[in-house]
Structure 1
Amino acid sequence: MFGLKKKRDYSAKEILTQLDNCAEEFTFPMLDNGYIYPIHSKLSAYRNEKRWALIIEIIGFNYRGGGHNGINNCLHIFGNCINTNPGTDNANFLFITDNSSDIPTFDDEYEESLNPNAKTMTLRGKEILITHSREFYLNKGIELEESDKILVWEFLRGLEPEFNKDFEATEEEIRDRIPTDIPKILELTEWFHPDCADSELPSNNETFQQIAKVLETGRKEFYKPKNSPNNHWKNWPDGGAL
């Protein structure tokens, strides 16, 4: 019949409501979380006519964990087809680094700085070289806080962008958490993120308004951001500052 529109199984409004609820419960990504130094982030959106899912990966260093226990990729998972509560939980933390030899990667006492004797570290099961050159970090725009050591988050920031793919979740890790048959429609490593610490909600943010519309309609052209990306760690100096 002419004039009738097919009723969708979900709407952009419902998507934004779920994201807002998580933001109010502090389970939506807060890039200036005072306990976590941000390193890298990624956003992936999935949909079909009946289901939607959104995964935001926040790779960072939680100094309360210390050392490799503090390095993780925290998956924030939203949708109407997920098997956990929207947001994040303990099962959605991916620990991706470890020592690669008998020499610990980080200092023994606080595990907050590079061990000056460490030459390699394991990332995703493969050994990578550790750089101790201060000039290397300064050339990447990383301001070193201490004159005689390189702190864990400074070291990790020195690994991007070359090792960003290793920081990110694998397809298997993603599909363990959302249906295997739901197609990906959007993938971003740069976007304009809301300032959740200042009580800005996703529903008031251009990025998530547009992503919700993409998910609702299946039309990627609705994602046309005017705001410049701000999710890089340099834009969130209060992250880890507590």
Structure 2
Amino acid sequence: MSIFAFKKKHEYSAKEILNQLDKCAEYFTFPMLDNGYVYPIHSKLSAYRDENRWVLIIEAIGFNYRGGGHNGITNCLHIFGNCIETQPGTNNNNFLYITEDSSDNPTFDEEYLDSLNPRANTMILRGKEINVNHDREFYLNKGIELEEKDKIFIWEFMRGLEPEYNNEFEATEQEIRERIPFDIPKIMELTEWYHPDCADSELPSKNETFKQIAKVLETGKMEFYKPTYKPNNHWKNWPNGGAL
């Protein structure tokens, strides 16, 4: 037996990663930040790797008006990789429901479930009671243009919680590790990046961000991530989100 250890073959490439992301984009399981049914609120990207495994997770927090009320406020985890037990993309088990009524009053109007209940003073976010803000100037000062004069819609309210409550919007370590191998190391975490316009048929493999991230995953070298485009994943850049 040779005294030299044989190096295990590297089991994935940047090209394979991009191929998986493209396939999910074609099947609409890659995050579309201007999804016509979902008002975007916040997003996060995390990458994990070792020599033989890779995982990429994109969290898309938003309000789906078809769900309505608390059922419409979700963190949808889009999970990709070569070591996950589910199909790449997302599924019903990857929706995290993060808000609920407090003991005060129902948080949202009970007829349409799309705006704040004027009587609500508090709400539960991730098990914590937080204040419900009805001050219209508060939202305007954050650059949130309120659509109607006599109500504050749920997506406007949730956007008003950003960035102070971003950590509560995002998945916990336990929620992540329930879905990916517990021992795969995290190599990268972003809350700002240049996202492809999937509604306009732009594929991840044609997008600078994901081409560079795929190379980081392949090599383990962060220096391959050198963005030249201005980040665009903030909700203000996707005005068609929720517009259907």
Relative to the length of structure 1, the TM-score reads 0.97
Q: Look up the SS of the partner of 1:30 in the other structure.
A: coil
Q: Look up the SS of the partner of 1:19 in the other structure.
A: helix
Once the two structures are TM-superposed, the CA of residue 7 in structure 1 deviates from its matched residue by 4.1
Residues 181-222 of structure 1, C-alpha deviation per residue, up to 9 Å, x if partnerless? Answer: 000000000000000000000000000000000000000110
Alignment-derived partner of residue 4 in structure 2: none
Q: In percent, how many aligned pairs have the same letter?
A: 79
Q: Look up the SS of the partner of 2:195 in the other structure.
A: coil
Once the two structures are TM-superposed, the CA of residue 75 in structure 1 deviates from its matched residue by 0.1
Once the two structures are TM-superposed, the CA of residue 65 in structure 1 deviates from its matched residue by 0.3
Which of 229, 232, 243 is the equivalent residue of 1:230?
A: 232
Structure 1 segment 152-163 matched on structure 2, within 5 A:
152-163=154-165
Q: Look up the SS of the partner of 1:148 in the other structure.
A: coil
Structure 1 segment 64-79 matched on structure 2, within 5 A:
64-79=66-81
Structure 1 segment 57-68 matched on structure 2, within 5 A:
57-68=59-70
Q: Look up the SS of the partner of 2:217 in the other structure.
A: helix
Q: Look up the SS of the partner of 2:100 in the other structure.
A: strand
Once the two structures are TM-superposed, the CA of residue 8 in structure 1 deviates from its matched residue by 1.6
Alignment-derived partner of residue 123 in structure 1: 125
Which of 188, 191, 196 is the equivalent residue of 1:186?
A: 188
Unmatched 5+ stretches in structure 1:
none
Residues 142-173 of structure 1, C-alpha deviation per residue, up to 9 Å, x if partnerless? Answer: 00000000000000000000000000000000
Q: Is the 8 A contact 2:104 2:121 kept in 1?
A: no
| Alpha-carbon distance in structure 1 between the residues aligned to 2:104 and 2:230 | 44
Supply the AA of the counterpart residue of 2:201. S
Which of 38, 41, 44 is the equivalent residue of 2:40?
A: 38
| Alpha-carbon distance in structure 2 between the residues aligned to 1:214 and 1:238 | 31
Alignment-derived partner of residue 206 in structure 2: 204
Alignment-derived partner of residue 3 in structure 2: none
Alignment-derived partner of residue 89 in structure 1: 91
Q: Look up the SS of the partner of 1:68 in the other structure.
A: helix
Q: Is the 8 A contact 2:104 2:122 kept in 1?
A: no
Supply the AA of the counterpart residue of 2:128. K
Relative to the length of structure 2, the TM-score reads 0.96
Which of 168, 171, 186 is the equivalent residue of 2:170?
A: 168
| Alpha-carbon distance in structure 1 between the residues aligned to 2:199 and 2:15 | 23
Q: How many residues matched? A: 238
Residues 51-77 of structure 1, C-alpha deviation per residue, up to 9 Å, x if partnerless? Answer: 000000000000000000000000000
Residues 3-43 of structure 1, C-alpha deviation per residue, up to 9 Å, x if partnerless? Answer: xx974210000000000000000000000000000000000
| Alpha-carbon distance in structure 2 between the residues aligned to 1:207 and 1:177 | 24
Unmatched 5+ stretches in structure 2:
1-6
Which of 223, 228, 243 is the equivalent residue of 1:221?
A: 223
Alignment-derived partner of residue 195 in structure 1: 197
Alignment-derived partner of residue 151 in structure 2: 149
What is the root-mean-square deviation in Å for CA atoms of aligned residues? Answer: 0.9
| Alpha-carbon distance in structure 2 between the residues aligned to 1:103 and 1:147 | 22
| Alpha-carbon distance in structure 2 between the residues aligned to 1:105 and 1:229 | 33
